[in-house]
Amino acid sequence: MRGQRSPQHAMFIVRSMDERIALDHPIRTVRRLVDEALAELSPQFTALYAPMGRPSIPPEQLLRALLLQILYSIRSERQLIEQLDFNLLFRWFVGLGADDPVWDPSTFSKNRERLERADVATAFFAAVVGLADAHGFLSHDHFTVDGTLLEAAASMKSVRRKADPPDDGPSEGGKNPTVNFHGERRSNASHASTTDPDARLARKGDGKETKLCHLASTATENRHGLIVATDVRPPDGSAEVEAGIDLLRTLATPAQSTKTVGADKGYDQAPFVERARALGFTPHVAQKKKGSAIDGRTTMRAGYAVSQRKRKLIEQNFGWSKVVGLLRKLRHRGQRRVAAIFTLTCAAFNLIRLRTLLADVSP
């Protein structure tokens, strides 16, 4: 018998939001982990707001929504709000009821500055790392450091000489003027972007295209490849090594246990090797063919081969952040804002890894 569609819709909803989400849906584990992390941040959120006045949108909901944007590769806050309006899974994850109104996209812009000043992204990342440590998934002795270039949200046409006066008048071509850089030598010493002054001209290697970029670095532990520290700074000749040393400082402990740090050939230089040893880390860097800063006393150890194999795990978080987290081409400008979104993306990567690890150990 053919079923007939009833034109009369139900007036009341009898199924709860939780009942509509499959019990084995992978997002359930992620939400449980997010709940635990946000519970630790509640006192910090309370300090951000005045005790009196009109209630604001809970910062926990804003942070959950931004995590969804990263996890589901949503390109803009406007598209995110559209999803929140009709996607019940998104509403359930954020904490909105089926009939609760969604926010205006400008809500994120108005609240982003407040969250960045309080460094909420770093606090949330630290809480997620703490959860991984509580479950026994972290190595406290063996790490890997590496960096990658994130293309800035700025055009090469925005690069101008620092000595030139600002051009506030109309230009030929409007917002996309015709600019001829033929024969002009540009460098970070003499030029800067008017769109994102914190970005720098950089390239991945010889023969590669020069772009405006930010340098993002991470430190991962070698047991499961979880990210334990992040850093964002302008790229230059020594920025990657300096970032690696700063990451090691955050991981250094007074304990006398043997610590190792794996890295690629870009870190095989005396400044990194010597300073890493001074911090208590044995540098297991990939050797250059000529002029290596390490010798057979390091490479003969069995642990060196293990570090060289494990250090490749760090590429997974870079690939995930650029493809799923949409960081291949940044959508935000300024070092502080880029650092916040990169740190939050690293926290999302850790949540996905934790979900998988917890599924493997569950009975």
pLDDT band with cut points at 50, 70 and 90 for residue 11: low
Mean pLDDT along residues 213-240: 95
252: which residues sit within 8 A by CB, 6+ positions away?
A: 259, 279, 280, 281
Q: What is the tens place of the pLDDT at every residue in 90-141?
A: 999 999 888 888 998 888 888 888 888 889 999 999 999 999 999 999 999 9
Q: How many Cα atoms within 13 Å fall on the side-chain side of residue 234?
A: 14
314: which residues sit within 8 A by CB, 6+ positions away?
A: 144, 145, 146, 218, 220, 225
Q: What is the tens place of the pLDDT at every residue in 17-34?
A: 888 888 889 999 999 999
- 139-152+213-332: CATH topology: Nucleotidyltransferase; domain 5 (3.30.420)
Q: Is the dihedral of CA 33, 150, 243, 208 positive or negative?
A: positive
Apex CA 243: angle with CA 218 and CA 224, to 5°? 20
In the predicted model, is pLDDT for residue 79 greater than 80? Answer: yes
Spatial distance between the Cα atoms of 50 and 42, rounded to a whole number of angstroms = 14
Residue spans in the chain of domains classed CATH 3.30.420: 139-152+213-332
Mean pLDDT over each residue of the chain, to the nearest integer:
88
Q: What is the tens place of the pLDDT at every residue in 322-337?
A: 999 999 999 999 999 9
Between 97 and 149, whose confidence is greater? 149
Give residue 190's pLDDT.
Answer: 85
Phi, psi of 58 (to 5 degrees): -55, 130
Q: Are residues 116 and 340 in contact, defined by beta-carbon separation less than 8 angstroms?
A: yes
Mean pLDDT along residues 165-184: 63
Spatial distance between the Cα atoms of 351 and 250, rounded to a whole number of angstroms = 21
Partners of 259 in the beta sheet? 281
Spatial distance between the Cα atoms of 320 and 8, rounded to a whole number of angstroms = 45
Mean pLDDT along residues 354-362: 85
pLDDT band with cut points at 50, 70 and 90 for residue 203: confident
DSSP E strands: which ranges in 141-199? 142-151, 159-161, 191-193
Give residue 107's pLDDT.
Answer: 87
* Cα dihedral 79, 85, 86, 91 in deg (nearest 10): 100
The secondary structure of 225-294 as a DSSP string is --EEEEEEE---TTHHHHHHHHHHHHH--SS---EEEEE-GGG-SHHHHHHHHHTTEEEEEPPPSSS-S-
